Amino acid sequence: MDLLTVEALERPADDAALRARAAAMPAASPTDALLAGGTWLFSVPQPHLRTLVDLTTLPWPAVSTTPAGVTVAATATIAQLVEQLPHPLVQGCAEALVGSHKVWNVATVGGNIALALPAGPMTTLAVTLDATAVVWPATGGETRLPVADLVVGDRRTLLAAGDVLRAVELPSSALRSRTALRKASLAPLGRSAALLGGRIDGDGAVTLAVTAARARPAVLRFPAAPDTAELDAAVLGLEADGPWFDDPHGTPAWRRAMTRRLAREIVEELT
């Protein structure tokens, strides 16, 4: 949709220009927003916005390899990620983003994580792989924190006004591990009500990322494949951190039941 209150679209020429512009973003009454793919920004009215600062013209390589793993630029589109990082979990998480290829071609990895919808599948991908978020705070410098800690609730992250999610780093050890993904939704092409990613490492340790069923991602870790009782106890233990998510895509009780079932399926597949 047209954003009728937006008066300016700025395209920073380089990192320094972006950082200077981001530092000037008003925190108290946010009239400026970072623009990535725009698939969410342009999908709902944004009457408070006057200026969009476009990240997508910055020359950040979508996917690059480092000695420690793979760095995915925040501006990498879902389509670029699928093409440049062939991995079953990447493919599965991309397919969990309900949308046409038109959405895949513009929606970005960073936009998905920064938007922080519980059903954000790039968050699922990142949390399953113990990914690190590289953040450029508006105040300067660069910070790193687990993506699992960056997303703190439904549409809530630790990003302050003007903070830029620059990249997501996926460790090579996790990328080498066997993974599994399960999704539950009320309709075959519906938004995820529960989206779980799992990983088994070379030493037998199992990691489960629980997303969509809860407002914020949860990580369950086991030194070895858990039995059903241990797994159930860990899933139900999440309730100590707050209730199951509730929205038109699924009731809390159903999400809890689906999470238990999908967690069992993942452990079974991984082992």
- In this structure, what DSSP letter does residue 40 have? T
Asked whether position 66 contacts ligand FAD by CB under 6 A, the answer is no
Left if phi > 0, otherwise alpha if psi is -120 to 50, otherwise beta: which for 28? alpha
Among 72, 94, 97, 267, binds ligand FAD (CB under 6 A): 97
Contact with ligand FAD (CB under 6 A) among 74, 89, 235, 270: 74
Minimum distance from residue 123 beta carbon to ligand FAD (Å): 8
CB 62 within 8 A of CB 75: yes
Three-state DSSP class for 172? Answer: helix
Candidates 59-67, 112-120, 168-176, 216-224; binding stretch for ligand FAD (CB under 6 A): 112-120
- Span near ligand FAD by CB under 6 A; candidates 32-40, 62-70, 203-211, 242-250: 32-40
- Which position among 6, 114, 134, 213 is part of the footprint of ligand FAD (CB under 6 A)? 114
> 10 Å Cβ neighbour count for 268?
12
CB 220, CB 241: distance < 8 Å:
no
DSSP state of 38: -
Q: How many residues are recorded in the chain?
A: 271
36 makes contact with ligand FAD (CB under 6 A): yes
Between CA 88 and CA 125 the distance in angstroms is 10
Q: Which of 49, 70, 94, 165 binds ligand FAD (CB under 6 A)?
A: 165
Q: Are 214 and 222 in contact (CB under 8 A)?
A: no
Q: Does 73 sit near ligand FAD (CB under 6 A)?
A: no
Looking at the Cβ atoms of 98 and 257, the one nearer to ligand FAD is 98
* Min CB(22)–ligand FAD separation in Å: 9
- Is 98 near ligand FAD (CB under 6 A)? yes
Long-range pairs of 233-239 with CB within 8 A, sequence gap ≥ 24: 234/208, 235/210, 235/259, 235/260, 235/263, 236/260, 238/210, 238/214
Quick one: which segment of 13-21, 36-44, 237-245, 261-269 binds ligand FAD (CB under 6 A)? 36-44
CB of 112 to ligand FAD, least distance (A): 3
Residue that is written with structure tokens 């519906």 in the block: 190
DSSP 76-94: -BHHHHHHHS--HHHHHHH
Binding site for ligand FAD (CB under 6 A): 33-41, 43, 55, 74, 97-99, 103, 107-108, 110-112, 114-115, 117, 119-120, 159, 164-165, 191
